[in-house]
Amino acid sequence: MRRTIYKRKKIIITAILILFACEAYAAENKKDVAKGNMLYNSKKYDEAIASFNKALEKAPDDAVANYNLGNALYRKGDFAKAVESYNKALVKEESIRQKGDYNIGNGRFRIGKSRGEKDPASAMKDYRDSLEYYIRAMELDPGDTDAKFNYEFVEREMKVTDQKPETREQKPENREHKTENREQKAAGREQKTEDREQKAKDREQSTENREQKAEDREQSTENRAQRTEDREKEQEKKQDEPSEQEEKKGEGLEFYQKPEGGKEMTPQEAKMLLESYGQEGETRKQVRLRKFADYPEPDKDW
């Protein structure tokens, strides 16, 4: 039991000592940063750099120490290391993002400017990077007039550098790339033109097809109308021609027509006519019977 209590006390004491050590360490680190700031404000940049580096030995990720170290390096003209320190500071502290982007933009421009006429192509790349960081700074603070002024200044510097013969000679790849892009765009435009022409042809063909269908429908309508007209004429013709039954009836009525001259028959003449008509009917009956009796009847057995 006593051993357990002793171990617990020992752990607590150790933790307290570590806490005090950390606080003392942090306090000492803050002192180094504060000292570096004082030296920086006195324009003693070498001594300020040493003080900031001493603070970073204790806390390598300290955003304030890295940012202020970048400022001191920038004043010394070591722009590449200054940009590196700014980037380390931005990784840990977002609150200084806008100022850090602005300073990195300045650093990238200074790096490009230092290349000068020795390497214009690389200088142009640094200028483009500088513009990107100025854009970021203006997006975070649209009212930053310094960032806007520097952006326009770097743009003018790029135009001057781009007009130098050395820059044009060192950019054959860029020219080839631009040529390829122009050719690709031209090919794209030609393809679009061909597509439009094909669509126009398709529309014309579709219009012709519709017109042909309309003509076919008109022809079909005319054909139906002609057939209807032919049927009507045929019906009218049939109506005009007397039927066989009507002709027969007409023939039968001839026996009852008055004789020529308008004279009426006497009773005796009428009787004789009826008797003769009856004999003719019997004859017709016999004729009809004979037609059905094509074969002779057999002789009777006696």
Q: Is the pLDDT of residue 149 over 90?
A: yes
Question: What digits encode the pLDDT tens for the residues 116-141?
Answer: 778 888 999 999 999 999 999 999 99
Q: What is the pLDDT of residue 46?
A: 95
Q: What is the mean pLDDT of residues 174-188?
A: 74
Q: Is the pLDDT of residue 101 over 60?
A: yes
Question: What digits encode the pLDDT tens for the residues 202-235?
Answer: 888 988 888 898 888 888 888 888 888 888 888 8
Q: What is the mean pLDDT of residues 188-199?
A: 85
Q: What is the mean pLDDT of residues 166-172?
A: 53
Confidence of residue 197 (pLDDT cuts 50, 70, 90): confident
Q: What is the mean pLDDT of residues 172-196?
A: 76
**Two tokens at 6?**
């002793």
Give the domain ranges of the chain: 93-170
* Average predicted confidence (pLDDT) for the chain: 77
Q: What is the pLDDT of residue 177?
A: 66
Least confident of 3-7, 49-53, 159-163: 3-7
Question: What digits encode the pLDDT tens for the residues 253-300?
Answer: 344 444 455 556 677 777 777 776 655 554 444 444 443 334 444 443
Q: Is the pLDDT of residue 63 over 70?
A: yes
Q: What is the pLDDT of residue 187?
A: 83
Q: Is the pLDDT of residue 29 over 50?
A: yes
Q: What is the pLDDT of residue 302?
A: 29
Share of residues in the chain with pLDDT > 90 (%): 35
Q: What is the pLDDT of residue 161?
A: 83
Q: Is the pLDDT of residue 64 over 60?
A: yes
Q: What is the mean pLDDT of residues 63-84?
A: 95
